[in-house]
Amino acid sequence: MIKRGIGKLIWRFVRLFVIAFVGISFLWVLLYRFVNPPVTWLMMSRGFERKAAGKTWKIDKEWKDFDEISINMKKAAIAGEDQSFLEHNGFDFKAIERAIAKNQKSKKVIGGSTISQQTAKNVFLWSGRSYIRKAFEAYFTMLMELLWSKQRIMEVYLNVIEMGDGIYGAEAAAQNYFHKPAANLTRREAAAIAAIFPSPLKRSATNPTRFIRHRRYLIMKNMRRLGPLDF
């Protein structure tokens, strides 16, 4: 009887925890549909990493509304990271299958995350690779796709994504790399920024390696193929 009572108590606790988590996470995602995320876990952790390395604290970011960001930057992000962004519901299963196939043949892990998944990870979760984090990422991605528009997802993505050492968002990247606002980025400049997205701490938009120059070329080529964006 005692074991049975303890089991019921544990089950009740688990059930209440799940209900509370679902309710709080739903309201959290709904809130960010209207309120801009002030800071992310990644920004904070990178700031502490800089301090640990003897550098100054740096979180360089400036929020810009969707219409204040160049169409070139939006196209470059889609062309470089997620060409099916406007068609899928948060997950590109073909890209995931390709990533799994490549990872089986290579020691370097290749991701298949969409812009929606990357936004969920950046805004709501911690960095790192684990099945638990990926499960939470999938959950928050589904909530975002349910509660946000594609325009809102892109707006948040281009304002929070890491684009350099202590640099977050399109506006900070445009100012740091090209000394101009994000609204005035040319096609080539936007492609140069998008080319460093996978590894912004090791790559440069203004001093590109041969690999980054080739990636920039491919992004520009894909940008021409995209045509008008139907947000």
Q: What is the pLDDT of residues 148-202, one digit of tens each?
A: 999 999 999 999 999 999 999 999 999 999 999 999 999 999 999 999 998 899 9
Per-residue confidence at 93, pLDDT binned at 50, 70, 90?
confident
87, 90, 95, 99: CA torsion to nearest 10 = 170
pLDDT of residue 208: 93
List Cβ neighbours of 142 (8 Å cut-off, separation of 6 or more).
90
- Facing residues of 60 across strands? 167
Query: 47 or 94, which is more confident?
Result: 47
Structure tokens that stand for 188 in this block: 């080539």
Query: 127 or 150, which is more confident?
Result: 150
CA proximity to 162, closest of 67, 55, 78, 45:
45
- Tell me: pLDDT of 59 over 60: yes
- Tell me: pLDDT of 7 over 80: no
